[in-house]
Amino acid sequence: MRVKEQRKQLVQRRPTLLNAESARVITRPHIPGDKARTKILIGRVSKLNDEDVQHMLDAVIQDFSGRHRNFREVLQRNFDRIAEHVPKRISLSPEQQLLLGAYFTAEYSVEAAALFNPSIVPHPDQKGLTKGSQRFVMSFRATGEGHVSSVEFRSGIVDANHDIYFDPISQYVATPEMHTDPVYDRLHFRRKLDEMGAPDRITNKLLKGLGETFTFGQLESKIKKLLSTKFRLKDKHHAIDTALWLARSNYEVVFRPDEQISERVIFPVSENESAGIEDARFVRFVDDDKSVTYYATYTAYNGFDILPQILETTDFLTFKMHTLSGKEAQNKGMALFPRKINGKFVMLGRQDGVNNYIMFSDSVRFWNEAQLLQEPVHPLEFIQVGNCGSPVETSAGWVALFHGVGPMRRYSVWAELLDLDDPSQVIGRLDEPILTPDEHERDGYVPNVVYTCGSMMHEDTLIIPYGIADQRCRVATVSIPELLSRLTGS
């Protein structure tokens, strides 16, 4: 009897687990929806004597300032949010203002439920490293109270031996400041308004006179003028509400330079992402002029509907969020290729929720055409397939990771090879997954799931961070030469 030769295991799991830490908390405004309650609380604090105010404020500062940078600024900022409700007859001391700010502030644990679905890209700063090492940025989907998801980051180094070291995690967590007057691209803005059904004649009037780019303040001025026109009130309000919704969905946030990358949390800001920013797929994109931009496609969720969005940054300090447009910018799991191909931006997607598609576009924010790339073919993926982040370029083709879902809703991660010049052509795929949940990875918030939102090449090794049971994370590595050998059959 001949024993079948067992192939060498392709993937190597690294021992480090990245777990959620409930102690990582941000501050959030905690303002009642009922204005009457706000005014009652202001009245109660205004009646406290100076000694009681100072005693209460000292206790708050002592208990919470060690958990948050610039804590007094946070309290003052949250007081400023409700300052308009302070009666003119009441004069508040600086201490009373800070104490009121504390009453209108709450902590939120961004990782209370889970830390999962990571992606990885080379760090913008590669200075000062030893030969054969590479610095990276890893992103995560962090989920807290109410299952609201945000984006978190870690940094670290992969050395010449392919060992992975994470930088120390800061004790602080910070959300960014909103840019006060974001800038919009008129062409993209108009396309999305048309897509959303805003009345054409009113849209023309609203955007007339605006430049190729315009600010939120300029848009507000045009809205005020639009209100005095003779269009039907119902139509005007529809156009205005749509324009404001779109403008507030496209925004810019900025972190402070002294905030470490592990401190930075992109928390939902706009209405369409109020229930979560989900599964950001980061990619280091190199344009034709060799300029580098980091993009990340993500899913905005408001509790009822999803909306594909894209963010961009060059330094992981300033982030611009944009709404994706076009009839194919829909569903979850869009992933951008790291460069243009034949002059076109290229994106993977899962428009019908079951199959993998590929798209080509002249604009990174407008996707109007898609073609089928891949259907489920293996029993372990009969339910659905979907991409696992941006493809990685090799001399043999684009290595694309994808997930398959099989019996018992068990997820697995697979690999395929796309043609370098025409990535709509699948030129190789493995006949078995590279990752399936092992006995240590089956249990968690969502059992039997392994999932990644993006990998990174380091020399001849593919670094794959992946989520486990929608709760925690791990890192695996794969030899690129061995992977290509199996994909090409050579």
> 276 to each of 219, 266, 399, how far by Cα in Å?
27, 10, 30
Return the DSSP state at 48.
Answer: S
Residue at 483 is within a domain:
yes
One domain for residues 256 and 160: yes
* Two structure tokens written together for 205: 């009037």
Query: Do 329 and 218 have their domain in common?
Result: no
Q: Which residues contact 221 (CB under 8 A, 6 or more apart)?
A: none
**What is the rounded CA–CA span in Å between residue 76 and residue 61?**
13
Query: Does the residue 363 lie in any domain?
Result: yes
* Domain encompassing residue 89: 25-109
Distance separating alpha carbons of residues 91 and 89, to the nearest angstrom: 7
Which strand (E) or helix (H) includes residue 169?
none
Token output for 364: 């990174």
How far are the Cα atoms of 117, 200, 473 from residue 464, in angstroms, in the given order? 11, 47, 11
Q: Do 329 and 463 have their domain in common?
A: yes
Total structural domains in the chain?
Answer: 3
Q: Specify whether 224 is located in the same domain as 319.
A: no
Verify that 207 and 306 share a domain, yes or no.
Answer: no
Residues near 113 by beta carbon (within 8 Å), at least 6 away in sequence: 20, 143, 144, 145, 147, 445, 471
User: Residue 440: which CATH number?
Assistant: 2.115.10.20
pLDDT, one tens digit for every residue, the chain (490 residues):
333 444 678 999 999 999 999 999 999 999 998 999 999 999 999 999 999 999 999 999 999 999 999 999 999 999 999 999 999 999 999 999 999 999 999 999 999 999 999 999 999 999 999 999 999 999 999 999 999 999 999 999 999 999 999 999 999 999 999 987 889 999 999 999 998 888 899 999 999 999 999 999 999 999 999 998 988 999 999 999 999 989 999 999 999 999 999 999 999 988 889 999 999 999 999 999 999 999 999 999 998 888 899 999 999 999 999 999 999 998 788 999 999 999 999 999 999 999 999 999 999 999 999 999 999 999 999 999 999 999 999 999 999 999 999 999 999 999 999 999 999 999 999 999 999 999 999 999 999 999 999 999 999 999 999 999 999 999 999 999 999 999 998 7
Q: What 3-state DSSP class applies to 166?
A: strand
Of 72, 87, 109, the one marking the end of a domain is 109
Residues 366 and 391 in one domain: yes
Report residue 408 as tokens.
Answer: 């018992």
Q: For 367-423, give the DSSP string.
A: ---EEEEE---SGGGSSEEEE-S--EEETTEEEEEEEEE-GGG-EEEEEEEE-SS-T
Same domain, yes or no: 131 and 64: no
Final residue of a structural domain among 87, 109, 131: 109
